Structure 1
Amino acid sequence: MDQLMAMRAFARVVEAGSFTRAADSLDMPNATLSKLVRELEAHLEVRLLQRTTRRVTVTPEGQDYYAKATRILRDLEDIDSSFNLARGKPRGHLRIDIGGSTARDVLIPLLPDFLARYPDIRIDLGVSDRAVDLISDSVDCAIRGGPLDNSSLVARNIGHAEMITCASPGYLRQCGVPAYPEELKNGHRLVTYLSPRNGRAFPFRFEHDGEKSEIKLEHRVGVNESNAHLAACVAGLGIIQTFRYAAAQALREGALVEILQKWQPAPYPFHVVYPQNRHVTHRLRVFIDWLVERFPERLAGGEIRQD
């Protein structure tokens, strides 16, 4: 038995909550992972997991072994990282979760710079507006916008995005250009962004001379994915609020027109987050530091500089 591999396999099953998801995250067949866990249990002469057709439950002995095994695995990663750090060459695999328009317009255009600096790091991007469970889905970090509501995550600010209100030229010709936010209630159509987590509609927010207001109307169309939300506006379905970086190309090409500029919403914060109990590897540390350096300018709509 490869005891180290068996420990890693068991730890991933505990974290992922299933053999299938654990096997996928370790890039190994489900049968191989199951065999490793069985061999580990036989070696220890104790049952670590209770398996049924529907779920996997960790036994008290399994919880104790998991706590001790993960300390050993973190120590081994520390040793590996210290040698990589000494050579100045972080290496390995990073799994990153990020929203659709932020991936398209901010992170992906910047990634050639990161991969040129760190050629031995391999990246998997999970692109979705729906927030994943970083632990069970074996994600190293996530880039998220808005207020943070999960105290189990460590967060580092990586900038603010400007929010704008806009519509297509065709829509404005048909329905008129609103002069102030309250005018949106007079027959205008709103394309609302819906929370991918719970389906709730985000209100339209405005701020002028320090005064904040919200417009909550029954929407004609609701969309829960950022790229499709922007596409609905370009198609003339109604008025949206979105990030300036997401609408920048459509604004330049004349497919969208910014409106209500005097009532811009407050800037929207972005963070990179990772679990508190997750060991911060050398590769994750350099990625986070790189985000702090490069992300804010691009998030604010700046051009990519060539260093």
Structure 2
Amino acid sequence: MRFAKRAGAIICTIILAVTFCFGTTTAAAATQSEKSMNIRTINNDLPVPFSLNDYQVTQYKGSYNFVEKSGGYYYMYSPVTSKYRSAYAYIVLPTGFNRANHRNAFISLGMKGKHGIDLGITNQGKGWCPYMSDFNASPHHTEIYDDYVAPSTAKGAIITIKPVNSTTVHLYIQFKDANDENVGKVFDKDIKVTSGNISVSNEKLSNGQFYRFVSFITAGTDNQADGSYLTGGMFKNCQLYNGTSYVSWGKEDSTVKDCFSVSKSHVTLSWSGQNDTFNIRFNG
């Protein structure tokens, strides 16, 4: 469910995002203003020492789901459940980014049934924009919505995903500037996916998992001394919605079953409550 991507891939605003997904219920995250952006004082210290060709798994919780030799990444999965209708996060966009002309970055939520559906933002050299990857399709299918590229003033993005039915998912993304004002075009769309993957019952993902991840990968040779970096990013206020209330989705919560990273010497992670901070560097 992972690397077919390489082939292509606050209070009023939160109310808007929540309204499209859940009616009039307000997200717990809406009580936490993003305006200060002081969350950007993030530790960018490099992992030491670096190692080339490093695909070592670091298991933070539960077990790991896969290893592919394409770069650095981390994933976090909910338990298999039928409790939740949607997933929400505020993405703090990385303050440092250099793709060395070949790495693609993904900051994403997703839902898994038989296979995964990634829904989030990607940067493949033209700026951050929404995308979707359907790993139930054969071959795996990725859509990149580059008509919605974030403007240079974007510092963060609200993201909400939900299943609609067995062949439709919904993705909402709104980029925000340093003053918490909307910038760029809102992405608020139903997206068709292949059948036989997810099940939906009572508007909830049935016997499935929500997940989130960051990956910094390449479709070509994985040169781990290419000087590329993806630093100063964060998932903030991560929550799952059960149809009545929002539930904390932090690493230490029961809503997280598995958490792991690949490429130990290049990936630095830290957690605080509902927030994940991430840095990925390949030394030059």
TM range (shorter): under 0.3
TM-score (norm 1): 0.23
Between structures 1 and 2, the one with greater strand share = 2
Q: Mark the structure with the bigger radius of gyration.
A: 1
Between structures 1 and 2, the one with greater helix share = 1
TM-score (norm 2): 0.24
